Amino acid sequence: MTAAVITFPGSNCDRDMAVALERVMGKPPERLWHRDSDLPRGVDFIALPGGFSYGDYLRSGAMAARSPIMRQVAAAAARGVPVLGVCNGFQILCEAGLLPGALMRNAGQTFICRTAELIVENVSSRFTAGLSRGQRLHIPVAHHDGNYFADQTTLDEIEGSDRVAFRYASNLNGSRRGIAGILNAEGNVLGMMPHPERAVDAAHGGEDGLLLFKSVLDGLSVA
CATH number of the domain within which 186 lies: 3.40.50.880
195 is a catalytic site residue: yes
Residues near 123 by beta carbon (within 8 Å), at least 6 away in sequence: 129, 131, 132, 133
Give the whole-angstrom CA distance, residue 47 versus residue 92.
11
Q: How confident is the model at residue 220 (pLDDT cuts 50, 70, 90)?
A: confident
Report how many domains make up the chain: 1
Give the whole-angstrom CA distance, residue 126 versus residue 85.
14
User: For the chain, what percentages of helix, strand and coil (3-state, to nearest 5) are there?
Assistant: 30, 25, 40
Active-site option among 94, 95, 143, 195: 195
Which structural domain range is residue 46 located in? 3-222
Give the whole-angstrom CA distance, residue 152 versus residue 163.
15
Give the whole-angstrom CA distance, residue 188 versus residue 126.
7
What integer is the mean pLDDT of 65-72?
A: 97
Q: How confident is the model at residue 57 (pLDDT cuts 50, 70, 90)?
A: confident
pLDDT of residue 166: 98
Q: How confident is the model at residue 221 (pLDDT cuts 50, 70, 90)?
A: low
Cα-flanking dihedrals φ and ψ of residue 65, to 5°?
A: -60, -20
197 is a catalytic site residue: yes
Res 223 pLDDT > 90 = no
| Alpha carbon 163 to chain centroid, angstroms | 14
Res 29 pLDDT > 60 = yes
DSSP E strand boundaries for the chain = 3-7, 30-33, 45-48, 83-86, 102-104, 112-120, 136-143, 147-149, 164-168, 179-183, 189-192
pLDDT of residue 58: 84
pLDDT of residue 208: 97
Give the pTM. Answer: 0.96
Percent of the chain's residues with pLDDT above 90? 93
pLDDT digits (tens, 9 = 90+) for 181-206: 999 999 999 999 999 999 999 998 89
Give the whole-angstrom CA distance, residue 190 versus residue 175.
16
Active-site option among 87, 94, 95, 121: 87
Question: Do 24 and 214 touch, CB atoms closer than 8 A?
Answer: yes
Least confident of 72-76, 98-102, 139-143, 213-217: 213-217
Active-site option among 13, 95, 143, 197: 197
Res 222 pLDDT > 70 = no
Cα-flanking dihedrals φ and ψ of residue 67, to 5°?
A: -65, 150
144 is a catalytic site residue: no
